[in-house]
Amino acid sequence: MNAPQTSAAPATAAAGNPKRRQALTTIAAVVVVAGLAWTAYEWLVASHYENTDNAYVQGNVIQITPQIGGTVMAIMADDTDFVTAGQPLVKLDPADARVALQQAEAGLAGAVRQVRTLYANNGTLAAQINLRSADVTRAQTDVVRAQSEVARATEDLSRRQALTGNGAVSQEELNHTKTQLANANAALAAAKANVVASEAGVVAAREQLLSNQAMTDGTSVERHPSVQAAAAKVREAYLAQQRAALPSPVDGYVAKRTVQLGQRVAAGTPLMSVVPLSQVWVDANFKEVQLRNIRIGQPVKLTADVYGKKVEYTGTVAGLGIGTGAAFSLLPAQNATGNWIKVVQRVPVRIALDAEQVKASPLRVGLSMDATVDVSQKDGKSLAEAPRAAPVASTSVYATIDSGADAEVNRVISANLGRPLAQDKAAKPAAAPKSGAADDAQGSAVPAPRNLAAVAPAVLAQ
C-alpha cells in the first residue's frame, strides 16, 4: 500500500506571497526613512537647541520695612495697587520723633551759645593778663619803696648807735629806731612776696588764656566741634522724623500687605512688598548634561503658559548659576552614603527678557515658562569675566530725605549766633580781633607777658 505523500504547496504559497513581502518591505523602508529623518533632524536642528519647561519668571520683591519704630497712622496703598517711586505707602506716628527733634535743636542752641562764651572769654582773659601785669609793676614799685625805707631806717639806726656812747641818744630812742628798721624789713619782705604772687597771677592768667584759645583757634563758632556734634544730633532727629513716612523706592505693584492700622511696628518689620514687573527675568533650570553648549549671550525663545504659543518672548542668556539647586538648599543632599542613587542635577540659567515685550505682555513673578536656547554659536563664555559696571538696581528716593536737615541746622545756628551765618567763613579762618572782640572771633590779640625773671633784677637778687 502506498504511503500518503505530503504536499509542499503551503510553503511555496507563503514564500511566493507578493503582498506580504511588499508589506514587510514597506514597513522596513518606513523605519529606515524615519530613522534617517530623525538622525537628520537631530544633526541639523535638534543639536542646535536646548529646551526645558522647568523655567519660571523671577523678579525683585522689595520689602518695605520701617527704619524707626512707631504706631501705624495711615496705609496709603493696598495689594495690587500701582505705586510710583517716592509715593508714601505707610505713615507712622511722628510725635516721638518731633519731640526728639525739638530736644536736639535745644541742644544745638545751647552748644552755639556756650561756644560763643568761649570766644568772648578770650578777650576777658587777655584783659586779666594786662591787669596782672599791672599788679606786678605796682608790686615792684612797692619793693623799691620798701627798700628805700629799709635803707633810711638802717642809716638812722647806725647814726644813733654811734651817739649812744656819749649819751646823746637815749636807749628808748635807739629801741624805737630798731623797731622802725624791723618794720621796714617786714614791709620789704611783704612787697617781695607780693611781686611773686603777682607774677604767679600773670602766669595763671596766661595759661587760662592758652587753654581757652586751644578750644577756639582755627575754627569759627558754626564749625566748632561742639556745635558740629550737636548739629549731627539735629540731623539724626530730623531724619527720624522724615522716616515716619515710608516711601516706595521704585515704580511697581504692591503685594503681601500685612500691616494694619494702629499696629505698633519695630524697625525692620516687613509691612508690604513692591514688585517692579518691568524688571523681571526668567530662571530656566537646565539639566547638567544640557549645559555643555550653553553660553552667555545666546538667544532664547520663550513662551508663557499664561499666554500660550500665541505670545513668544525673545531673551538672552545673562548668566549661568554657580551651583545646582541642591547645593544651595537648606538641607544639602548627603551623597556619601551606601544607598546612593544618582539623580541628574539642574543648574539655573538666568535669561534676560526684552523690556518692550514684557511691557506689551506683562508677566508675574512665579509664572511657568518654556525656554529654548539656540546653542549654534558657542564662542561665548560660560562664566562672567568682568565685574558689573553699573548697579543692578538703584533708587534716589532716600537721597533727598535729608535735604532739609542742613537748612534746619543753619536756622538754629543763625538764631543763636547773634549774626547772619556766613557759609564761606569756615573755609578760611578770619584774622584775630583785638581784646574784648565779639563772640565769633577766631582768637584775641594778647600782649605777650614780659620776662618776669628779668624785671627788677636788683630787687629779686636781694
Total domains present in the chain:
2
Asked whether residue 293 is domain-assigned, the answer is: no
Q: Are residues 154 and 218 in the same domain?
A: yes
Question: What value does the mean pLDDT take over residues 263-270?
Answer: 94
Q: Are residues 212 and 195 in the same domain?
A: yes
Looking at residue 139, which CATH number applies to its domain?
1.10.287
Given a cut of 70, whether residue 5 has pLDDT beyond it is no
Q: Are residues 84 and 209 in the same domain?
A: no
The three cell numbers of residue 318 are: 545673562
Q: Give the N- to C-terminal CA distance of the chain in Å, as an integer.
A: 184
Q: What is the pLDDT of residue 429?
A: 41
Q: Are residues 108 and 183 in the same domain?
A: yes
Q: Are residues 123 and 254 in the same domain?
A: no
Q: Are residues 105 and 85 in the same domain?
A: no
Q: Are residues 129 and 107 in the same domain?
A: yes
Asked whether residue 268 is domain-assigned, the answer is: yes
Asked whether residue 188 is domain-assigned, the answer is: yes
Q: Are residues 209 and 266 in the same domain?
A: no
Q: What is the pLDDT of residue 117?
A: 84
Q: From the CB of residue 91, how many other CB atoms can be counted at a distance below 10 Å?
A: 15
Asked whether residue 402 is domain-assigned, the answer is: no
Q: What is the pLDDT of residue 160?
A: 65
**What share of the chain in percent tops pLDDT 70?**
82
**Among 271, 276, 273, 281, residue whose Cα is nearest residue 252:** 276
Q: Are residues 181 and 258 in the same domain?
A: no
Task: Please give the mean pLDDT across all residues of the chain.
Answer: 81
Given a cut of 90, whether residue 192 has pLDDT beyond it is no
Given a cut of 70, whether residue 13 has pLDDT beyond it is no
Q: Are residues 160 and 252 in the same domain?
A: no
Q: Which of 255, 273, 291 is the last residue of a domain?
A: 273
Residue pair 254/25 in contact (Cβ under 8 Å)? The answer is no
Q: Are residues 76 and 105 in the same domain?
A: no
Given a cut of 90, whether residue 98 has pLDDT beyond it is yes
Give the residue with greater pLDDT, 25 vs 350: 350
**CA-CA-CA-CA torsion sign (359, 362, 366, 369):** negative
Domain that holds residue 156: 97-237
Lowest-confidence pick of 83-92, 105-114, 195-204:
195-204
**What share of the chain in percent tops pLDDT 90?**
39
SS3 state of residue 80: coil
Q: Which of 237, 255, 289 is the last residue of a domain?
A: 237
Asked whether residue 325 is domain-assigned, the answer is: no
**pTM for the whole structure:** 0.67
Lowest-confidence pick of 118-122, 175-179, 376-380:
175-179
Q: Are residues 194 and 215 in the same domain?
A: yes
Which of 71-80, 195-204, 213-222, 421-430 tops mean pLDDT? 71-80
Given a cut of 80, whether residue 7 has pLDDT beyond it is no
Residue pair 319/384 in contact (Cβ under 8 Å)? The answer is yes
Q: What is the pLDDT of residue 119?
A: 80
Given a cut of 90, whether residue 150 has pLDDT beyond it is no
